[in-house]
Amino acid sequence: MKVPLLDLKKQYKKIEDEINRAVDEVFQSQRFILGPKVEELEGKIADYCQCNYAVGVSSGTDALLLSLMSAGVGYGDLVITTPYTFFATAGAITRVGAMPIFIDIDEKTYNMNPDELDAAISSMDEERKSKVKAIIPIHLFGQCVRMEPVLAAAEAQGLPVIEDAAQAIGAEYEFSNGKVRRAGSMGHYGCFSFFPSKNLGAFGDGGMVTTNDKDIYECLKVMRVHGAEQKYYHSVIGGNFRLDAIQAAVLTVKFKYLDEWTSKRRENASFYRSLFREKGIEGISLPKDIEKRHIYNQFIIKVRDRRDELKKFLNDSGIGCEVYYPMPLHMQSCFKYLGYTPEDLPVSMDAAKKTLALPIYPELTADQMNYIVDMISNFLKMR
Ligand SMILES: *Cc1c(COP(=O)(O)O)cnc(C)c1O
């Protein structure tokens, strides 16, 4: 049996006519840059993410870059984040001239550990503390960071929080007072990606920045078009961070199905759990569904030993699976100058060694999941 890690063709087949009609409208209008299609999508995403405003941008990476620029982060500044993530988070920090401070993750959720955040801040002298200009928590794999303590720490230091919600559209977090908020609505900026493999994926690159602050919104909009409030008059230095109308048209169609797809992903996650339980599989931990609600952009298992052998075995059995991420960012050669050692962030190192993403996309069938868990079970019986 063949089970790809993601099957976008299957998804497209179901909505092909609708998508083609929406894209054709853009072709007929010959309006490709921003415009009504982008605005329509911005309105929908803002509502969905419980935010007052949303600004369509060229990618998730640019959402982060634009947010940092808008927050005024620049040369010599420091930004606190975690190293167990896609490269873009730290890449954006360095591209504005700042330096990332990496802190370790929670071993169950792979997200920023708020205790490590407090420890990092309290270990700094006043001079270093004054250089910290933002915190970027990453809602990895579709589950929110424990935001309450992160927001408290940020507020105590007067720091903006830029949520990297690229993998977490529609993920929810419950505060201790019972209030439930969606990813991207809790900090000052929410950064989303419409890369094709995300839960809401475009037919190319795309992204969005959400905010509840009107001034931030105005700033993002100006910076998205080279800092020109009025065409050809530049009050600040921005960039070309625009979302294409074609991508917005595709996304507006796909958006209608997002909740249905998220439900399917969550159902698939439960089904995996029941299969692993039935087969009494040992040596593998399933993802912890701690914060309400996990949207399962990825279903990540932790393999006690022989992770790479298991990956090869599954690939050879026709099953797509992937390691996200094999090398934490503090160990990347481009960040050697930061001077981290593997021992500095042991939980991130351990995650990089043991995690494996299994297929979780909405169109996955029960037979396919059965096959995957059978193959994992077979592998574990081999020595
Ligand atoms: C995908 C992703 C990004 C970058 O998004 P692009 O649209 O690919 O630029 C940033 N951060 C995280 C955590 C991501 O998963």
Is residue 3 in some structural domain?
A: no
For range 99-104, the mean pLDDT: 98
Cα gap 104→346, rounded to integer Å: 7
Q: Which of 212, 229, 255 is the last residue of a domain?
A: 255
Same domain, 332 and 213: no
100 Cβ partners below 8 Å, 6+ apart?
A: 78, 79, 80, 81, 83, 90, 93, 94, 329, 335, 338
**Do both 300 and 345 map to the same domain?**
yes
CATH number at residue 84: 3.40.640.10
65 CA distance to ligand 1 middle (Å): 11
CA-closest candidate to residue 141, choices 270, 289, 283: 289
Ligand 1 atom closest to the Cα of residue 297 is: 15
Mean pLDDT for the chain overall: 97
Query: How many A from CA of 297 to the centre of ligand 1?
Result: 12
- Residue linked to tokens 């998804």: 11
| Residue 331 domain flag | yes
Could you tell me if 162 and 302 lie in one domain? no
Structure confidence at residue 382 (pLDDT) = 87
**Collapsing DSSP states into helix, strand and coil, what is residue 201?**
coil
Q: Does residue 325 have a cis bond before it (omega within 30 degrees)?
A: yes
Rounded distance, CA 24 to CA 29, Å? 9
Ligand 1 pocket: which residues have CB below 6 Å? 59-61, 85-86, 88-89, 138, 164, 166-167, 193, 195, 205, 207
Q: Cβ–Cβ contacts within 10 Å for residue 152, how many?
A: 13
Residue 31 placed within a domain = yes
Can you tell me which atom of ligand 1 is nearest the CA of 197? 1
Q: Find the 70 Cα to ligand 1 centroid distance in Å.
A: 19
Q: How many domains does the chain have?
A: 2
| Ligand 1 centroid to residue 88 C-alpha, Å | 6
Q: Are residues 222 and 129 in the same domain?
A: yes
Residue 171 and residue 82 in one domain: yes
Rg (Cα) of the chain, in Å, rounded? 21
Q: Are strands 162-164 and 78-81 parallel, antiparallel or unpaired?
A: unpaired
SS3 106: coil
Q: How far apart are CA 285 and CA 325, in angstroms?
A: 17
**Nearest ligand 1 atom to alpha carbon 206:** 7
Write the residue with the smallest CA distance to atom 2 of ligand 1.
166
Task: Please report the atom of ligand 1 found closest to the CA of residue 138.
Answer: 13
Report the separation in Å between the CA atom of 226 and the middle of ligand 1, taken as the mean of its atom positions: 22
Residue 249 sits in the same domain as residue 266:
no
Residue 383 has pLDDT above 80, yes or no: no
CATH number of the domain within which 289 lies? 3.90.1150.10
Give the nearest ligand 1 atom to 167 CA: 15
262 pLDDT higher than 90: yes
Instruction: Give pLDDT, residue 20.
Output: 98
| Amino acid in position 171 | A
Q: Is 122 part of a structural domain of the chain?
A: yes
Ligand 1 atom nearest to CA at 61? 9
**pLDDT category of residue 25 using cuts at 50, 70 and 90:** very high
Same domain, 35 and 120: yes
**Ligand 1 probe mutation, 61, 62, 243, most atoms within 8 A of CB:** 61
Task: Return d(Cα 132, Cα 341) in angstroms, integer.
Answer: 21
Cα–ligand 1 centroid distance for 168 (angstroms): 11
Question: What is the phi/psi pair of residue 145, to 5°?
Answer: -65, 155
Between the CA of 204 and the centroid of ligand 1 the distance, in Å, is 13
Ligand 1 centroid–CA 138 distance in Å is: 10
Report which protein residue has its CA nearest ligand 1's atom 6: 60
**Token pair for 14:** 């179901």
Q: Look up the domain containing 270 and give its range.
A: 258-381
Query: What pLDDT is attached to residue 358?
Result: 98
pLDDT tens digits for range 206-244: 999 999 999 999 999 999 999 999 999 999 999 999 999
Query: pLDDT of 106-142, one tens digit each?
Result: 999 999 999 999 999 999 999 999 999 999 999 999 9
- 77 and 210 in a single domain? The answer is yes
Q: Which ligand 1 atom sits closest to the C-alpha of 139? A: 13
The tokens describing 64, both together, are 């982060």
Check residue 333 and give its pLDDT. Answer: 97
Q: End of a domain among 215, 235, 255?
A: 255
CA of 223 to the centre of ligand 1 (A): 20
Assign 290 a pLDDT band (cuts: 50, 70, 90).
Answer: confident
> Pick from 226, 255, 284: which residue ends a domain?
255
**19 and 158 share one domain:** yes
